[in-house]
């Protein structure tokens, strides 16, 4: 077992057991979906339907329904394509690159990030597909023997490289994702009681039984797939950037594009992961697995890649001036001060300034702030692609051809539609698939900060673990408000405070019991139902003489102080979590 830090927040909060991990992940699948899910999927489906309508209209009418013109002959579609591919970068990066680096925190987010990747790449692939105009001959991009004589696709063209890169990336990511899903589907299969769902999950689990040899193979397959997916991740967006970089258009013709695009892709991908995970953890009550530390790690990735992107922007500007090529200089001057200055300004604000705020620990550990920034970054990254593509084209070498690009309603409808389809797919995924890699998370359970839980964070129930949530039993008590808080307690595990003399202790104890009323073990309530109270803390309270909700509900700040003096191991916690009002609620249940 590896050495663990005594003071670092563990990856899994609370004293979870293997069974609880299974329960926590399977609960949303087995229970009725909340009404919010139906509302969300209906809205998403409507938008998706509108998008599909726009696509069908486009295919019926032709590309003329888009806002493209002779000068700007490549705009909205390729912007959206690159945007979606970029978003699709985080998933495999998290599961492959972070696996190679043995970053165990990835296990909390890899499954969902990979799902996001797959859906995002499907959305991306839509755009070149429909841009072909005649989508029914899209197989022409493949080198197939054909009746047109010896007519092969052009292997020298970056556009064809892209076909290979995207399809390889998509299929490898899909396989990687599914191989990880098989054992988890087996877990769900073995828990299901309804014959039909059991059958469906049985088919999807491929008859997985968890044999030692199979796990042996599983691990090596994961490792090797991660090993070959890592260069794949970097190659895909490099190749996407070649679509531009190998051309001779000022503004596109730069060698900085591949690293700059890859950094941008990781940047936007992680932002999208943040957006989705912040919702998922809340709605599915997975705060114990995806907590502030995970969010912070991802924010640091956003900060680093955002800085790389920022440096790349500035390098481009510098090179445009330093190269002395007036066309190149004009392209960049036009970006910043031309008619599309607002797009450039949005891009600069969202992508260069906003990630720099992550240097502040307070901000990068704030969930609301993270959520806002993640959306800002995604908007910024969309504008980046728009700026690169449209502003480089709309004013070329010949001023008489200068023109502007305005999207039509079909352009906008198709883009909104892909967001709708993506949301539908993601909502379906979140409802029916295990959003956490159950089997992988179980492997880190034992190495998940035992030192911390027994030492620095011990005794005060820093995360409320009541072990009471089972099927259909959801009392919200196990979602502690304290999850997101950094522990502030001292390293005191003793049940009794040392610095209080025996006499003072009993005096304080009797004062406290006088005020809240005394009770004995026979009338004890399950104090663990109070958010913030775990089994250890319950015992401490019992040893003082507090057994019932009634006693707890009578506490005010004075009693809290007395309590703190008696049981030093959780200073301020009772007050912070407002036990009294919680207990009142529980009494009235």
Using CB under 8 A as the binding rule, whether residue 559 contacts another protein is answered as no
Considering the complex, what minimum distance in angstroms separates the CB of residue 98 from another protein?
18
Other beta carbons within 10 angstroms of residue 105's beta carbon come to 18
Give the C-alpha separation, 193 to 195, whole Å: 6
Instruction: Output the smallest distance, CB 24 to another protein, in A.
Output: 12
Cα separation, 485 vs 291, whole angstroms:
10
Options 65-73, 204-212, 291-299, 545-553: segment touching another protein (CB under 8 A): 204-212
Using CB under 8 A, count the residues that bind another protein.
66
For residues 78 and 387, the answer to whether their CB atoms sit within 8 Å is no
Which of these ranges, 35-43, 182-190, 304-312, 450-458, lies near another protein under the rule CB under 8 A?
182-190
Report d(CA 519, CA 12) in Å as an integer: 35
How far apart are CB 163 and another protein at their closest, in Å?
9
7 is an interface residue for another protein by CB under 8 A:
no
Told to check if 175 binds another protein by CB under 8 A, we report: yes
Token pair 């030492």: residue? 455
Contact map string, positions 533 to 552, toward another protein, x by CB under 8 A? --------------------
C-alpha–C-alpha distance, residues 566 and 546, integer Å: 12
430 binds another protein (CB under 8 A): no
- Cβ neighbors of 3 (< 8 A, separation 6 or more) are none
Where does this chain touch another protein (CB under 8 A) — which range of 82-90, 151-159, 336-344, 538-546?
151-159
Query: How near is the Cβ of 239 to another protein at its closest, in Å?
Result: 6
Does position 209 bind another protein by CB under 8 A? yes
> How would you classify residue 343: left for phi > 0, otherwise alpha for psi between -120 and 50, otherwise beta?
alpha
Residue 2 CB, nearest distance to another protein (Å)? Answer: 11
Q: To which residue do tokens 């003071």 refer?
A: 7
Interface with another protein includes 100 (CB under 8 A)?
no
Complete DSSP assignment for 251-291: TT--TTHHHHHHHHHHHHHHHHHHHHHHHHHHHTT-TTTS-
From 37, 50, 74, 206, residue interacting with another protein (rule: CB under 8 A)? 206
- Does 253 participate in binding another protein (rule CB under 8 A)? no
- C-beta closer to another protein: residue 151 or 587: 151
Helices 409-432 and 257-283, axial angle in degrees (round to 10): 50
Cβ nearer to another protein, comparing 91 with 417: 91
Interaction of residue 110 with another protein, rule CB under 8 A: no
CA 270 to each of CA 109, 218, 292: distance values in angstroms, whole numbers, following the listed order: 11, 27, 15
What sign has the CA pseudo-torsion 235, 240, 241, 246? positive
Binding mask 21-50 for another protein (x = CB under 8 A): -x----------------------------
Q: Is 432 in the site for another protein (CB under 8 A)?
A: no
Residue with tokens 């329904």: 65
- Output 27 or 189, the one with its CB closest to another protein: 189
Nearer to another protein, 105 or 201 (CB): 201
Which of 480, 459, 483 lies closest to 570, judged by CA? 459
Stretch touching another protein by CB under 8 A, among 209-217, 305-313, 525-533, 541-549: 209-217
Is 92 or 509 the residue whose CB approaches another protein more closely? 92
Residues 6+ apart with CB under 8 A from 451: 4, 5, 6
Return d(Cα 351, Cα 348) in angstroms, integer: 5
Q: What are phi and psi of 79, to 5 degrees?
A: -60, -50
- Cβ proximity to another protein, 143 vs 407, nearer residue: 143
Q: How far apart are CA 273 and CA 297, in angstroms?
A: 12
Q: Which residue has the tokens 């609370």?
A: 14
- Region binding another protein by CB under 8 A among candidate stretches 40-48, 147-155, 263-271, 504-512: 147-155
Binding flag, residue 165, another protein (CB under 8 A) = yes
Pick the piece of the chain touching another protein (CB under 8 A) from 155-163, 425-433, 544-552, 578-586.
155-163
Residue-wise DSSP of 77-95: HHHHHHHHHHHTTHHHIII
Q: For residue 160, which of 147, 173, 144 has the smallest C-alpha distance? A: 144
Please, what's the b/e burial string for 446-481 (b: 16 or more CB within 10 A of its CB; e: otherwise)?
ebbbebbbeebbbbbbbbbbbbebeeeeeeebbbbe
219 is a site residue for another protein (CB under 8 A): yes
Sign of CA dihedral 517, 523, 525, 526: positive
Q: Which is nearer to another protein, 163 or 527 (CB)?
A: 163
Question: By CB under 8 A, is residue 164 in contact with another protein?
Answer: yes
Tell me which stretch binds another protein (CB under 8 A): 13-21, 121-129, 397-405, 495-503. 13-21
- If one asks whether residue 160 binds another protein (CB under 8 A), the answer comes out as yes
Q: Is residue 557 part of the contact set for another protein (CB under 8 A)?
A: no
Binding of another protein by 183 (CB under 8 A): yes
Burial letters 147-164, b for 16+ CB under 10 A, else e: eeeeeeeeeeebebbbbb
Nearer to another protein, 205 or 305 (CB): 205
Of residues 76 and 260, the one with the C-beta less far from another protein: 260
DSSP 357: G
What character string, x for contact with another protein (CB under 8 A) and - otherwise, covers 223-252?
Answer: xxx--xx-xx--x---x--x----------
Select from 4, 190, 296, 474 the one that contacts another protein (CB under 8 A): 190
Residue 200 is a binding residue for another protein (CB under 8 A): no
Window 443 to 482, contacts with another protein (CB under 8 A): 443, 446
* Least gap, CB of 79 to another protein (angstroms): 23
> What is the token pair recorded at 25?
């992940």
Contact 171, 178 (CB under 8 A): no
Instruction: Give the residues lining the site for another protein (CB under 8 A).
Output: 17-19, 22, 143, 150-156, 158, 160-161, 164-165, 168, 171-172, 175-176, 179, 182-183, 186-187, 189-191, 202-221, 223-225, 228-229, 231-232, 235, 239, 242, 438-440, 442-443, 446
């Amino acid at each position: 077992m590896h050495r663990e830090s005594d003071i670092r927040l563990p990856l899994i909060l609370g004293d979870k057991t293997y069974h609880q991990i299974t329960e926590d992940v399977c609960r949303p699948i087995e229970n009725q979906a909340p009404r919010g899910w139906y509302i969300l999927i209906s809205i998403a489906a409507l938008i998706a339907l509108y998008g599909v309508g726009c696509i069908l209209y486009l295919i019926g009418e032709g590309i003329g329904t888009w806002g493209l013109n002779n000068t700007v002959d490549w705009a909205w579609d390729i912007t959206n394509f690159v945007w979606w591919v970029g978003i699709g970068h985080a998933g495999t990066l998290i599961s492959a690159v972070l696996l190679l680096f043995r970053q165990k925190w990835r296990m909390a987010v890899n499954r969902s990030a990979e799902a996001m990747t797959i859906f995002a790449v499907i959305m991306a692939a839509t755009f070149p597909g429909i841009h072909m105009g005649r989508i029914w001959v899209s197989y022409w991009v493949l080198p197939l023997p054909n009746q047109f004589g010896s007519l092969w696709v052009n292997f020298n063209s970056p556009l064809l490289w892209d076909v290979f890169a995207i399809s390889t990336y998509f299929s490898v990511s899909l396989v990687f994702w599914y191989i990880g899903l098989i054992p988890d589907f087996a877990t769900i299969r073995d828990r299901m009681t309804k014959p039909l769902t059991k059958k469906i999950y049985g088919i999807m689990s491929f008859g997985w039984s968890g044999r030692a040899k199979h796990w042996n193979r599983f691990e090596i397959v994961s490792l090797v797939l991660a090993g070959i997916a890592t260069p794949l991740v970097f190659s895909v967006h490099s190749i996407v950037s070649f679509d531009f970089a190998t051309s001779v258009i000022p503004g596109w013709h730069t060698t900085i594009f591949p690293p700059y695009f890859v950094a941008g892709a990781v940047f936007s991908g992680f932002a999208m992961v943040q957006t989705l995970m912040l919702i998922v953890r809340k709605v599915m009550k997975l705060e114990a697995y995806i907590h502030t530390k995970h969010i912070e790690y991802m924010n640091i990735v956003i900060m680093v890649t955002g800085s790389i992107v920022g440096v790349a922007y500035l390098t481009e500007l510098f090179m445009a001036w330093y190269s002395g090529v007036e066309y190149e200089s004009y392209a960049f001057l036009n970006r910043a001060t031309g008619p599309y200055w607002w797009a450039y300004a949005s891009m600069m604000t969202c992508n260069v300034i906003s990630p720099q705020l992550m240097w502040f620990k307070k901000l990068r550990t704030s969930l609301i702030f993270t959520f806002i920034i993640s959306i800002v970054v995604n908007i910024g990254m969309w504008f980046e692609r728009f700026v690169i593509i449209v502003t480089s084209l709309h004013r070329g070498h010949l001023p008489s051809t200068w023109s502007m690009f305005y999207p039509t309603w079909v352009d906008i409808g198709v883009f909104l539609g892909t967001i709708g389809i993506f949301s539908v797919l993601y909502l379906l995924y979140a409802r029916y698939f295990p959003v956490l890699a159950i089997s992988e998370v179980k492997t880190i359970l034992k190495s998940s900060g035992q030192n911390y839980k027994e030492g620095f964070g011990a005794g005060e129930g820093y995360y409320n673990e009541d072990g009471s949530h089972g099927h259909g039993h959801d009392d919200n008590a196990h979602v502690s408000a304290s999850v997101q808080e950094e522990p502030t307690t001292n390293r005191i595990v003793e049940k009794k405070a040392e610095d209080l003399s025996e006499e003072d202790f009993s005096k304080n104890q009797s004062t406290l019991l006088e005020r809240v009323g005394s009770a004995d073990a026979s009338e004890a309530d399950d104090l663990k139902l109070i958010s913030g109270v775990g089994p250890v803390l319950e015992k401490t309270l019992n040893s003082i003489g507090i057994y019932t909700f009634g006693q707890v509900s009578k506490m005010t700040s004075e009693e809290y102080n007395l309590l703190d003096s008696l049981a030093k191991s959780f200073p301020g916690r009772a007050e912070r979590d407002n036990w009294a009002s919680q207990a009142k609620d529980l009494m009235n249940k």
